[in-house]
Structure 1
Amino acid sequence: MGKEFKINQEQLSQLNQLIQNLSAEQLVWVNGYLSGIINGKPNAVDVPVISSQKSSESITILFGTHSGHSKEIAMDLHDKILALGFDAKIQGLDFYQKNDLKKEKYLFLIVSTHGEGEAPIQAEELYEYVHGTRAPKLPDTKYAVLALGDKTYKNYCQTGIDFDQTFSKLGAKAIIPVQTSDVAYEEVAEQWIEKVIGELKNLVPELTASTLSASTAITKKKFNRSNPYYAEVLEKVRITTSDSEKEIYHVEISLEDSGIEYKAGDSIGILPNNPIDLVDLLIDKLEDDPERIVTLGEKEISLFRALQNKLELTVLNREVLEKYKAITQNKDLELLLNNEDELEAYLYGADAYDLLEDYPGEITSDQFISILRVLYARLYSISSGPSSNPEEVHITIASVRYNRKKRDRNGACSSYITDEINAGDHLPIYIDKNESFRLPDDESKPLIMVGAGTGVAPYRSFLQEREQNSAKGKNWLFFGNQRLKKDFLYQLEWQRFLKKGTLQKLDVAFSRDQEEKTYVQHRLKENGKEVFQWLENGAHFYICGDKKHMAKDVQTSLLEIIQNEGGITPEKAEEYLKNLKREKRFLLDVY
């Protein structure tokens, strides 16, 4: 038996007497104050003056998210607005009552864009409503929109841009212009929040004169892309055979004393370094001095370090090509940009050196680095259960290597880890929360998990967590890779889960062990009747892995199963799947 930490009745009475007269903001501060004492840093806590004044302005913060980033930003904004002395409510778009829209005085929306310009599931209903004929006029509403997206996709930040334009058409007034952000969103989000706070301060300046932010209290340090935690690598083991065509590693990383927490379904972000041979090629091509000091933003750094550590070299996108064309006026590049199919084919595997080689033109080193994106973190699905690994995080990494135009290419992060990082070394990391890929709250619900290659990683986390919690729900894993004897990732662990009863069913597809290739979607269809029964019994269906091929094929097969086993039309099958998404029982972690 462990120690009893309960307080006595007299202490409880005193505590209740204290807190019953505290405001919400004061309770937030007390929580931080106690955290400071627990962490042995009570002197680091400044006592804020919480203003007794309150603004009567109505403020609503809405978020629409696929991964959870929008929610995280919304919560940061909410904390800062409360600290100013305003009342504000925060809500996910899927719980927002659309009829309340016409009542809003101040509306702040943070929303991501999913896929090729689609609204995330959470935002679909309000998106359709404001674009429909029943949308209300909003002459009394002031608003601001932060749009999250990925410049790899053509319709970058389209959902947020659409909301902004539609709010404006309905008569609402933007207090600041719509802000768009690429995958490295943290700094942009912070700037957007500060602009919003600045506008609110102008509304009731006397409120803020006596109000100090409750965020001065001690809280857990926040690690992110711009402020990573340097974690020690505990172990790195190759889990495919040496003669396998796939080079896949299991990596274990220490979180000891970091205060970092994660949940099953989250990812880990790792800040990579560009391959040195690629950096050298670029500098030679640009005919420049690697030690020459250049300016990036407000910082000065050597050209070599800028290219190795700060700028994206291994991946190109449309925006980079458009900026390059504007400088070089290369006619062939203009033709490429006007042909979507050829552009997509070129971007798949081309790097910054290819751009200089394939579309030559007059451009200086400074001009070239000015058009490149910031080197973004690579995300890897976490493959460990947090309950059974409280001070560790595990990931499963496939080393990216290929040859294009007689030049060997390496992934910026995967090859860096597999070639240069060993036990005892440190990696800059942070946790990337993924609210859209979670275990169900009801542990009795069944799971159907479909993954190929390293897409199986989060399911190791799921099963470890369910085992640790003695969850009663049944679990069914579909796993695919190339060859049974070379590429059966975590084979012994799946067998242990089967023997113990944590995993009820395991169906595998090894595509190259026979003449006719077999994939996970084929195994899914072979078990169509039982898959549909599991769905009818409340199963949650997960897909993790390649977005363009595997995930798309699995979803197509699932629709066929729903249609055939349910005896319904293709349209009804689509509606069935849409309902699964609304109920958060169809979940994707794709890339």
Structure 2
Amino acid sequence: MGKEYQINQEQLAQLNQLIQNLSADQLVWVNGYISGIINGKDDALLLPKISVPKSAESITILYGTHTGHSKEIGLDLYDKVLALGFNAKLQGVDDYKKNDLKKEKYVFLIISTHGEGDAPIQAEDFYEYVHGTRAPKLPDTKYAVLALGDKTYKKYCQTGIDFDQQFTKLGAQAIIPVQTSDVAYEEVAEKWIETILNELKTLAPEIASSPQSKSTSAPKKKFNRSNPYYAEVLEKVRITTSDSEKEIYHVEISLEDSGIEYQAGDSIGILPNNPIDLVDLLINKFEDDPERIVTVGEKELSLFRALQNKLEITVLNQEVLTKYNALVQNKDLEALLNNEDKLEEYLYGADAYDLLEDYPGEITSDQFLSVLRVLYARLYSISSGPSANPEEVHITIASVRYQQKKRDRKGACSSYVSDEINAGDHIPIYIDKNEAFRLPDDENKPLIMVGAGTGVAPYRSFLQEREQNSAKGKNWLFFGNQRFKKDFLYQVEWQKFLKKGTLQKLDVAFSRDQEDKEYVQHRLKENGNEVYQWLENGAHFYICGDKKYMAKDVQDTLLEIIQNEGGITPDKAEEYLKNLKREKRLLLDVY
């Protein structure tokens, strides 16, 4: 079936909602009804219509997303609102008609925060509108906001908080207070939706109690953070040389019989184990019994297992330090918490044992457990094309190892995979969808792909898919790492893509192979004219890698190229770049 005939995700959710409670006889009836419509038979239109009572109240569900999580939650709420018998519409905020806002009676917004307090690209215009002088007064509007974010950032869930405050300023009435959620958002989202539905039931109890509204909601995703799939590792190969400063592995994982599907651009979430040596340090610090039973959440387990499998101990954030200091009341720690620059410097590379050593105080091991975050999954860009690798998924992992304060440190997940996992072992995984990093629907569109280190992983997936689908669009890869002879990830594969014509251009930068360091942005600048011509011809520009340095430098260079090659002012160049983002032709997967 051609792509032009496929239904979208929103339509599929509605279809699933319709058919999931129908009997076999009813499904046969529906099949005949649809066939009649397709064949233009007038009698199909005379078949009895199903009467579903509807509330006069109209519900608007809006989402603003970077990776697609907000949209998933929106679809879930949309299904359940329809099941109650309400009229509802679901839209991304970029497609929403802003002038309709003043007419809305009920608005439910699911919105993520990107980086340090920024609205996702999809929501930038709507954010400016709501906070601008043209925003309407909303005295007749009731609303609720679910804010998604990451507590490792200082401005946690800031976009959602901003929307909530602004809606209130415009006169709208919050049905429930703004809800914020960390990276493990599923449980908070479920509770938020449940609260919304309970509020809606009070609006039209006769609708909510009708037989048609009793249908169950769409099934939850089979595998996620709270319910991972234990997948077999088929192969693990180091793809940097043994004398390289970087220890990077290519890992192939079986999805056979799992039913798991993914797209190029998605990521895999892996639930790791914390390093045992760090677990032992913490237990010894408290002089506690590793087999003592403790409670984490609603589960009882040994202290050792709690620290190894359930709680975050390799990284810290401001919230953990704040909770810890509420118990120990350390004046030096209080001073640190009041100094943003020093706090950010301290948090980079510090772990739970550092906190106990650097800022001591009276605290029991159980109290310490209570301030720690839940151990969260680590996300890795998928490096395999699903069409080229049926029932398999590949990832590229750099092992994180460093020394700080005369103690060896390890990344929780990277060391778990590199040190403990081998072919034949099973690891807990799930697919993390990333709608913000997709191949263009038009396979004739050219691609410019920029990645450093393991940031090149998704481009292997992209090129495998384009080759498998015989896509005619040109492809240009910019790749950077430390040394040509030691760190040229997937070198043989890129050369094969070049030979076959799947990859038209390859430009590389190896920073340590000469006295003056060279990076991918230098290769971009050298090819500025051609890069600009590709953009003018509709190219999609991808950046994957470190957000703070590499991605920022690449975007700055791209802006310079646009200004110089386009012969336009800095303001016009900024607008050009902004339009690329709006058109989903500048796509970032950064961390």
Letter of the structure 1 residue corresponding to residue 164 of structure 2:
D
Query: 1:287 Cα deviation (Å)?
Result: 2.2
1:548-567 alignment, distance < 5 Å: 548-567=548-567
Letter of the structure 1 residue corresponding to residue 87 of structure 2:
D
In the alignment, which residue of structure 2 is the partner of 1:136?
136
In the alignment, which residue of structure 2 is the partner of 1:202?
202
Query: 1:215 Cα deviation (Å)?
Result: 4.2
SS of residue matched to 2:94: helix
In the alignment, which residue of structure 2 is the partner of 1:312?
312
Write the deviation string for residues 7-42 of structure 1: whole angstroms up to 9, x where unpaired: xxxxxxxxxxxxxxxxx967733267699x99xxxx
- Which among 28, 45, 52 is matched to residue 17 of structure 2? 28
SS of residue matched to 1:52: coil
SS of residue matched to 1:203: coil
In the alignment, which residue of structure 1 is the partner of 2:46?
none
In the alignment, which residue of structure 1 is the partner of 2:462?
462
Write the deviation string for residues 111-161 of structure 1: whole angstroms up to 9, x where unpaired: 000111011111111111111112111111111100000111111100000
Q: Percent identity?
A: 83
Change (3 A) 1:27 1:327: closer
Separation in structure 1 between the aligned mates of residue 583 and residue 61 of structure 2, nearest angstrom: 23
Separation in structure 1 between the aligned mates of residue 202 and residue 116 of structure 2, nearest angstrom: 38
Separation in structure 2 between the aligned mates of residue 539 and residue 407 of structure 1, nearest angstrom: 47
In the alignment, which residue of structure 1 is the partner of 2:5?
none
Separation in structure 2 between the aligned mates of residue 249 and residue 31 of structure 1, nearest angstrom: 43
In the alignment, which residue of structure 1 is the partner of 2:6?
none
SS of residue matched to 1:94: coil
Query: 1:327 Cα deviation (Å)?
Result: 1.2
In the alignment, which residue of structure 2 is the partner of 1:398?
398
The answer to whether the Cα contact below 8 Å between 1:147 and 1:180 also exists between their aligned partners in 2 is yes
In the alignment, which residue of structure 1 is the partner of 2:494?
494
Change (3 A) 1:312 1:213: farther
Letter of the structure 2 residue corresponding to residue 29 of structure 1:
L
1:336-347 alignment, distance < 5 Å: 336-347=336-347
Separation in structure 1 between the aligned mates of residue 425 and residue 14 of structure 2, nearest angstrom: 42
The answer to whether the Cα contact below 8 Å between 2:475 and 2:503 also exists between their aligned partners in 1 is yes
Separation in structure 1 between the aligned mates of residue 14 and residue 575 of structure 2, nearest angstrom: 44
The answer to whether the Cα contact below 8 Å between 2:380 and 2:397 also exists between their aligned partners in 1 is yes
Change (3 A) 1:495 1:26: closer
Question: Does residue 1:360 correspond to 2:370, yes or no?
Answer: no
In the alignment, which residue of structure 2 is the partner of 1:165?
165
1:104-119 alignment, distance < 5 Å: 104-119=104-119
1:2-151 alignment, distance < 5 Å: 28-30=17-19, 52-151=52-151
Separation in structure 2 between the aligned mates of residue 223 and residue 196 of structure 1, nearest angstrom: 25
In the alignment, which residue of structure 2 is the partner of 1:384?
384
Separation in structure 2 between the aligned mates of residue 214 and residue 91 of structure 1, nearest angstrom: 23
Separation in structure 1 between the aligned mates of residue 62 and residue 522 of structure 2, nearest angstrom: 41
Letter of the structure 1 residue corresponding to residue 398 of structure 2:
A
Separation in structure 1 between the aligned mates of residue 217 and residue 138 of structure 2, nearest angstrom: 36
Separation in structure 2 between the aligned mates of residue 398 and residue 455 of structure 1, nearest angstrom: 10
Query: 1:299 Cα deviation (Å)?
Result: 2.0
Write the deviation string for residues 268-321 of structure 1: whole angstroms up to 9, x where unpaired: 000011111101101111222222222222222221111111111111011111
1:410-559 alignment, distance < 5 Å: 410-559=410-559
The answer to whether the Cα contact below 8 Å between 1:25 and 1:83 also exists between their aligned partners in 2 is no
- Give the CA RMSD over aligned residues: 1.9
Separation in structure 2 between the aligned mates of residue 356 and residue 221 of structure 1, nearest angstrom: 39
The answer to whether the Cα contact below 8 Å between 1:51 and 1:207 also exists between their aligned partners in 2 is no
Query: 1:257 Cα deviation (Å)?
Result: 1.0
Change (3 A) 1:26 1:316: closer
Write the deviation string for residues 416-456 of structure 1: whole angstroms up to 9, x where unpaired: 01111111111111110001001111111110000000000
The answer to whether the Cα contact below 8 Å between 1:400 and 1:415 also exists between their aligned partners in 2 is yes
* Structure 1 stretches of 4+ moved >4 Å: 24-27, 31-35, 212-217
In the alignment, which residue of structure 2 is the partner of 1:242?
242
TM-score between the two structures when normalised by the length of structure 1: 0.91
SS of residue matched to 2:139: coil
Separation in structure 1 between the aligned mates of residue 229 and residue 141 of structure 2, nearest angstrom: 41
1:254-269 alignment, distance < 5 Å: 254-269=254-269
Change (3 A) 1:34 1:538: farther
Gaps of 5+ in 1: 5-23, 39-49
Gaps of 5+ in 2: 2-12, 28-49
The answer to whether the Cα contact below 8 Å between 1:25 and 1:214 also exists between their aligned partners in 2 is no
Query: 1:211 Cα deviation (Å)?
Result: 3.7
Letter of the structure 1 residue corresponding to residue 341 of structure 2:
D
The answer to whether the Cα contact below 8 Å between 1:233 and 1:251 also exists between their aligned partners in 2 is yes
The answer to whether the Cα contact below 8 Å between 1:220 and 1:259 also exists between their aligned partners in 2 is no
Write the deviation string for residues 191-242 of structure 1: whole angstroms up to 9, x where unpaired: 111111111122222223224554467x685211011111111111111111
Separation in structure 2 between the aligned mates of residue 506 and residue 533 of structure 1, nearest angstrom: 17
- Of residues 319-328 and 530-539 in structure 1, the stretch that sits farther from structure 2 once superposed is 319-328
The answer to whether the Cα contact below 8 Å between 1:29 and 1:214 also exists between their aligned partners in 2 is no
**Would you say how many aligned residue pairs link Structure 1 and Structure 2?**
556
The answer to whether the Cα contact below 8 Å between 1:532 and 1:561 also exists between their aligned partners in 2 is yes
In the alignment, which residue of structure 1 is the partner of 2:190?
190
Query: 1:461 Cα deviation (Å)?
Result: 0.4
SS of residue matched to 2:127: helix
In the alignment, which residue of structure 1 is the partner of 2:301?
301
Separation in structure 2 between the aligned mates of residue 26 and residue 281 of structure 1, nearest angstrom: 54
Separation in structure 1 between the aligned mates of residue 323 and residue 267 of structure 2, nearest angstrom: 32
- Of residues 564-573 and 173-182 in structure 1, the stretch that sits farther from structure 2 once superposed is 564-573
Separation in structure 1 between the aligned mates of residue 217 and residue 128 of structure 2, nearest angstrom: 40
Separation in structure 1 between the aligned mates of residue 437 and residue 217 of structure 2, nearest angstrom: 32
Question: Does residue 1:253 correspond to 2:242, yes or no?
Answer: no
Query: 1:585 Cα deviation (Å)?
Result: 0.6
The answer to whether the Cα contact below 8 Å between 1:109 and 1:146 also exists between their aligned partners in 2 is yes
Change (3 A) 1:192 1:221: closer
Question: Does residue 1:580 correspond to 2:569, yes or no?
Answer: no
Query: 1:322 Cα deviation (Å)?
Result: 1.1
TM-score between the two structures when normalised by the length of structure 2: 0.91
